[in-house]
Amino acid sequence: MADTYDVAVIGAGPAGYPTAIRAAQNGLKVVCVDEWKNRDGSLAFGGTCLNAGCIPSKALLESSELVHRAQSEFAAHGIKTQGIAVDLATMQKRRASIVRTMTGGVAALFKAAGVTAVHGHGRLLSGRRVEITAPDGTRSEIAARHVVLASGSVPVELPSMRFDHQRICDSWDALEFDAVPPRLCVIGAGIIGLELGSVWRRLGSQVVILEALENFLAVADQQLAAEAARQFKRQGLDVRLGARVSGARVADGTVRVEYADARGSQSVTVDKVIVAVGRKPYAADLLAADTGVKLDEKGFISVDAECRTGAENVWAVGDCVRGPMLAHKGKEEGVAVADRIAGRYAHVNYAVIPSVIYTAPEIAWVGQTEEQVKASGTAYKTGVFPFSANGRARAMEAAVGFVKILAAGDTDSILGVHIIGPLAGELIAEATLAMEFQASAEDLQRTIHAHPTLAEALHEAALASDKRAIDNINK
């Protein structure tokens, strides 16, 4: 007879593994099945995020940022260096070791929580049975009271530019380059394009980024986007907007990328291309025909606001369902589903999900952009405070960017916070908490912030929304 569980989770990325752990914490018998295989053939839990996404990219962003700071900031501090050399092999060894530690950590978490963790491919059959194909091809079947699908996403491939993983690369390839490409073209000036473009630019590549849209960072507040464009240009990132890519020709070890923009047909010849034009949900061979689980027209698993698929006791969370493709969004959905399965109350506040782009300066936001607030017709006020007037940012030699807060004109409630500057990704947590607690700009104004800290910029932006900033002569 098939083993039976209370909960079977398919996928052990940042959506699936927290689902399994919370379900086990809730006293349920849990199995989590994951098929991830690294390029060296090793099996690992943690999904895209830990193996080929958030963690390795942040490791390389940190290393390459140190290179940049040593080259361009040390002198201002009065620190003399005699030439900075990059040892990419050591940098990549460090990245791989962080990934190994973190993915090993997921296995340890499963063990400690009592989750049965299985490497293999999971396929949902009718009646909440799951067929598992082990890495050696052996098949087995389990049954569960509840099944949670957390199969994640994969990169979008351009039909005119198929991945060969040598010259035409995806984001995973780009995290594992063993030499700095002298000339690099990134297709897509989205989050991956800007983060990985920054890594390789700082390590010495000449980087051209081709973006189809006319607007830079269209998802972000446009005041923030304009500042980001200015900073990236200064750093030597060559972002070309309105560029419609038509194809790529690989010859003699180089790639000629052809595109058209407002000036007509163009091309750029480089050593490698990174295609970063978005990710799409992944559900290959996940569902037998008679499960009752449906996919929408874009391939996402259809779910309601509480992640129910419509098939009895089958749920789906993370990148494979609607909403932003962010690790923390998937984690909250998974934890909420595990609590709902246990009969507990759970809620995910989709209106308050922070976004962070880990470039330098960092970019982070939560809530609505000014463009969205304007379009909604809500009366609003803005407060902006520049890091150039913040003592800690000056001391850090990082006094670029600003904090911008949007608050309702009548109730004063915070509608959105947008930060470009040092450690923006850390600073946004305070704004996120404030919005989660439905704070007003005045609540932030009346909260004591330690001096000198970067967080004072958020405090001052809140004051600026009522034209009462203390430390800025302009407002």
Rule CB under 6 A: say whether 211 interacts with ligand NAD: yes
> Residue 187 binds what, of ligand NAD, ligand FAD, none (CB under 5 to 8 Å, by partner type)?
ligand NAD
Residue of 192, 393, 398, 462 interacting with ligand FAD (CB under 6 A):
192
The CB density around residue 145, as the number of other CB atoms within 10 Å, is: 14
Q: Which one from 119, 121, 449, 451 is the annotated catalytic residue? A: 451
Residue of 130, 210, 405, 462 interacting with ligand NAD (CB under 6 A):
210
The gap between the terminal CA atoms of the chain, to the nearest Å, is: 72
From 67-75, 144-152, 214-222, 296-304, span contacting ligand FAD (CB under 6 A): 144-152
State the amino acid at position 366 in one-letter form.
Answer: V
Nearer to ligand FAD, 47 or 383 (CB): 47
Spell out, one character per residue from 240 to 259, where the chain touches ligand NAD: x when CB under 6 A holds, - when not.
-----x--------------
From 46-54, 339-347, 359-367, 386-394, span contacting ligand FAD (CB under 6 A): 46-54
Q: What is the DSSP string of 347-362?
A: ---TTS--EEE-SSSE
Q: H-helix or E-strand containing 409?
A: none
- Integer angstrom CA distances of residue 384 from 81, 225, 466, 475: 37, 14, 11, 8
Residue of 181, 190, 193, 318 interacting with ligand FAD (CB under 6 A):
318
Distance CA 153, CA 19 (A): 17
Q: Is 451 a catalytic residue?
A: yes
Residue 56: CB minimum distance to ligand NAD, A = 11
Residue 362: CB minimum distance to ligand NAD, A = 9
Rule CB under 6 A: say whether 33 interacts with ligand FAD: yes
> Residue 8 binds what, of ligand FAD, ligand NAD, none (CB under 5 to 8 Å, by partner type)?
none
From 120-128, 144-152, 192-200, 406-414, span contacting ligand NAD (CB under 6 A): 192-200
Six token digits for residue 8: 């079977």
Cis peptide before 386 (omega within 30 of 0): no
Residue of 5, 7, 16, 393 interacting with ligand FAD (CB under 6 A):
16
Q: Is the Cβ–Cβ distance between 445 and 466 less than 8 Å?
A: yes
Nearer to ligand FAD, 27 or 135 (CB): 135
Q: H-helix or E-strand containing 395?
A: helix 391-395
> Residue 189 binds what, of ligand FAD, ligand NAD, none (CB under 5 to 8 Å, by partner type)?
ligand NAD
- H-assigned helices in 240-344: 327-341
- Widest distance between CA atoms in the chain: 75
From 162-170, 274-282, 383-391, 412-420, span contacting ligand NAD (CB under 6 A): 274-282
The CB density around residue 322, as the number of other CB atoms within 10 Å, is: 15
Q: Is the Cβ–Cβ distance between 466 and 381 less than 8 Å?
A: yes
Of residues 145-174, which lie at the interface with ligand NAD (CB under 6 A)? 158
Rule CB under 6 A: say whether 325 interacts with ligand FAD: yes
Nearer to ligand FAD, 149 or 469 (CB): 149
State the amino acid at position 453 in one-letter form.
Answer: T
Rule CB under 6 A: say whether 18 interacts with ligand FAD: no
Residue of 270, 356, 400, 439 interacting with ligand NAD (CB under 6 A):
356
> Residue 277 binds what, of ligand FAD, ligand NAD, none (CB under 5 to 8 Å, by partner type)?
ligand NAD
> Residue 245 binds what, of ligand NAD, ligand FAD, none (CB under 5 to 8 Å, by partner type)?
ligand NAD
- Integer angstrom CA distances of residue 189 from 57, 185, 238, 241, 388: 16, 11, 10, 9, 27
| Closest residue by Cα to residue 20 from 33, 38, 36, 2 | 33
Q: Is the Cβ–Cβ distance between 57 and 196 less than 8 Å?
A: yes
Buried b (16+ CB within 10 A) or exposed e, 94-103: ebbebbeebb
State the DSSP code for 300.
P
Rule CB under 6 A: say whether 188 interacts with ligand NAD: yes
Rule CB under 6 A: say whether 216 interacts with ligand NAD: no
Residue of 54, 307, 311, 366 interacting with ligand FAD (CB under 6 A):
54
The CB density around residue 42, as the number of other CB atoms within 10 Å, is: 11
Q: Is the Cβ–Cβ distance between 28 and 342 less than 8 Å?
A: yes
Beta bridge partner(s), residue 212: none
Residue of 104, 215, 282, 453 interacting with ligand FAD (CB under 6 A):
282
Q: Is the Cβ–Cβ distance between 51 and 36 less than 8 Å?
A: yes
List residues with catalytic annotation: 451
Residues found near ligand FAD in the complex (CB under 6 A): 10-16, 33-36, 47-49, 53-54, 57, 121-122, 150-153, 171, 192, 282, 286, 318-319, 325-328, 330
Residues found near ligand NAD in the complex (CB under 6 A): 158, 187-193, 195, 210-213, 245, 276-279, 324-326, 356-358
